[in-house]
Amino acid sequence: MKKEFKIKSPEQMIELGKKIGELVEENMVITLEGDLGVGKTTLTKGIALGLGISTIINSPTFTIMKIHYGRLTLYHMDVYRLNNDSGDDYLEEYFEAKGVCVIEWANNISDILPENILKVMIKQSGDTVRIVEIEAKAQQYINLLKEVNL
């Protein structure tokens, strides 16, 4: 199942993320792809709000992962600087750590990602508009995606 959203502002991106965050369940993995500056971290800020997290959400590019606590623990990863050969296999232990993983630049670690994920692709369309394509294959993610509307 796929859904597409036309996002016209950072606030709308946060709202989309918040709706996803309100619906995620334990051990879900959300992958975020898109060019630099397209809104991956902004969407993650919304997911955190939906999880009841009030700490500051910013990109963990240099630390690889930041952990935030809310209704579920958020494992926010930015794997931009990694690749399939970088020896960061330890990250996969967080996929089943009873929280939610949000992974920016997830294609860089595609060989360790679980089969069932919520795949988010963000594309720029003009100066301020973003097209967010969300794809779900496993039933738990399809159920979530059916509930997400703007």
Domain at 15, CATH number: 3.40.50.300
Domain count, the chain: 1
pLDDT per residue as tens digits for the range 16-25: 999 999 999 9
* pLDDT at residue number 59: 84
Domain of residue 96 covers 2-147
pTM: 0.94
Instruction: Give DSSP secondary structure letters for the chain.
Output: -EEEEEE-SHHHHHHHHHHHHHH--TTEEEEEE-STTSSHHHHHHHHHHHTT--S-----TTTSEEEE-SSSEEEEEE-TT--TTSS-GGGGGGGGSSEEEEEETGGGGGGGS-SS-EEEEEEEETTTEEEEEEEE-SHHHHHHHHH---
* pLDDT at residue number 89: 65
pLDDT per residue as tens digits for the range 70-108: 999 999 999 988 766 666 667 889 999 999 999 999 999
pLDDT per residue as tens digits for the range 13-51: 999 999 999 999 999 999 999 999 899 999 999 999 999
- Categorize the per-residue pLDDT at 62 as very low, low, confident or very high, splitting at 50, 70 and 90: confident
